[in-house]
Amino acid sequence: MDKILYHGTFLTMAENRPEPEAVLIRDGVIGGTGTLEEMRKLAPDGMLRDMEGHTVLPGFIDGHSHLSAVAYQLLVANLKPSPLGPCNCVEDVVRELKGFLETHSLRPGQWLMGMGYDNSVFPEGAHPTKEDLDRVSTEIPVAAAHISGHLCVVNTKGMELLGYTGEHFKVPQGGVVESAGLLKEQAFLGKNGEMQGPAPEEVVKAVGDASKLYASYGLTTVHDGKVPEGQYQLLKGAAAMGLLKNDVVMYLAPELADQLLTGPGPEALAAKGYEHHLRPAGVKLFLDGSPQGKTAWLSEPYYVVPDGEQPDYRGFPVQSEAYVMDVMRTCVKNRWQINVHANGDEAIEQMIRCYQSVLEETGSDRDLRPVVIHCQTVREDQLARMKEIGMVASFFLDHVYYWGDYHYESVLGPERAERISPARSALKHGVSFTLHQDSPVAPPDVMGAVHNAVNRKTEKGRVLGQEQTITVMEALKAVTLNGAYQIFEEDKKGSIEVGKTADFAVLERNPLTVPKEEIREIKVLETIKSGETIFRR
């Protein structure tokens, strides 16, 4: 049945930004915009829906996250610090893991896992150790993952099962194993498959719960980054069961891309559409780690280097130059879009250098929109070169709020911290950018991301880089129009215009008129996907 939405403030995000009185939905698509009288003429039998004065935007589009990991986090111990969780010191971590073990039955061989501890808020900034986790259990493997997702502490039993004991154990390239049980980058990420977690049927159900969680924040299109074979089967199963309420774009691990990414390019993948709300969209590659974990690859040393490191420590790469070139060459030759995790400016330099070399080598002039995920310490000269290549930036502005003070005082120091995630500079250089929260690192709270892009205020109240703030409209564009452009769906999503999918986020207040300090407080009242409500508060 046709539906007519009226009596709302419609922020269409269209080029000339008209604010129609009513919007017609027909067969899941926007069939018209204009006055209520005009829409009733187009659909005389259409169902009228009074929006009660609330603000209606295009459905929000996630710039980057990990849907599967969000699902997984719902099934393990929450080790995040306040206000996201209960753990503000090592003793809290131990207590939460013990409590989880007492209240949950683990299958034979299953690891006890927790996610989200943040040593930057702990006294002295110390990570938990294997001895701390041995106090939870010495008989079963225990793992506590860092909030960045790039570090993990395991107990003695876990170290044994992963093969990290004895004098001459092998560490995966791009990884570090510390004697206290701290695993960095590939030493942890490359061993994920050996850490047996919750049962598959539990995780599939949790994917549906995660999809609903995203919908509660107004997200109608969601990302899942670096999907390997097992995760792909998980998502495919959840999709077939009808558990996905939002569209989900997958960026695949390079080894899976050959099997799934067929066709003439990213625009063709987008045109082919979704199967049960799921589609492959490109390839994901990691080049470095996390700034708050001090594993991001910088061109200059960390302001306060980690204990045990040399004064010139500046993080490290996680892939060899030859491997990066090979993956990028394959992507360009096959016309696959690539998303590259690069936080540090040296990692960003590697991406620009390698991608530019591949373009010159292949002679490609295709519009492939390579994406720099996080792009946190990108320099002005790099933004100019990104524009020339056609690269897109996706900024994690929540870093300003959650870790801005830590960046200022310990990670980067005052000067570099002032311009993390430089959205204003990206606008100046004409680089298209989106916003994201890298969930499960932070909740997929889109209005929180908009708030942080506009205010750039840290948890302690410090304004971090006033000159890098952007307007509310510019931030809203980043989570709608730019989000659609990043995934080659600008002809279908991102604005309220005739012919586009009827995806909407309904807000209790208008972010253009509330005081900018209150943007994060705006609640999503309803999320509409293809004309059907998938969330209502």
pLDDT tens for 168-180 read 888 888 899 998 9
The mean pLDDT value for 415-420 works out to: 97
Q: Which of 145, 50, 41 is nearest to 97 (CA)?
A: 145
The mean pLDDT value for 317-341 works out to: 96
**How does residue 183 score in pLDDT terms, banded at 50, 70 and 90?**
very high
Q: What is the DSSP code (8-state) at residue 105? A: P
pLDDT of residue 39: 97
Distance (Å, whole) CA 354 – CA 466: 33
Q: What is the pTM of this model?
A: 0.93
Estimate to the nearest angstrom the gap between the alpha carbon of 447 and the chain centroid: 14
DSSP string, 195-221: S--S-HHHHHHHHHHHHHHHHTTTEEE
Phi, psi dihedral angles at 27 (to 5 degrees): 55, 40
The mean pLDDT value for 270-280 works out to: 95
Distance (Å, whole) CA 148 – CA 152: 10
DSSP string, 412-458: SHHHHHTTSS-HHHHHHHT--EEE--TTTTS---HHHHHHHHHH-B-
The mean pLDDT value for 176-187 works out to: 92
CB of 394 closer than 8 Å to CB of 435: yes
Place of tokens 């002032």: 418
Tokens of 397: 């502005």
pLDDT of residue 479: 98
pLDDT of residue 286: 95
Q: Which of 211, 253, 263 is nearest to 232 (CA)?
A: 253
Mean pLDDT (the chain, rounded): 95
**How does residue 339 score in pLDDT terms, banded at 50, 70 and 90?**
very high
pLDDT tops 90 at residue 327: yes
CB of 368 closer than 8 Å to CB of 265: yes
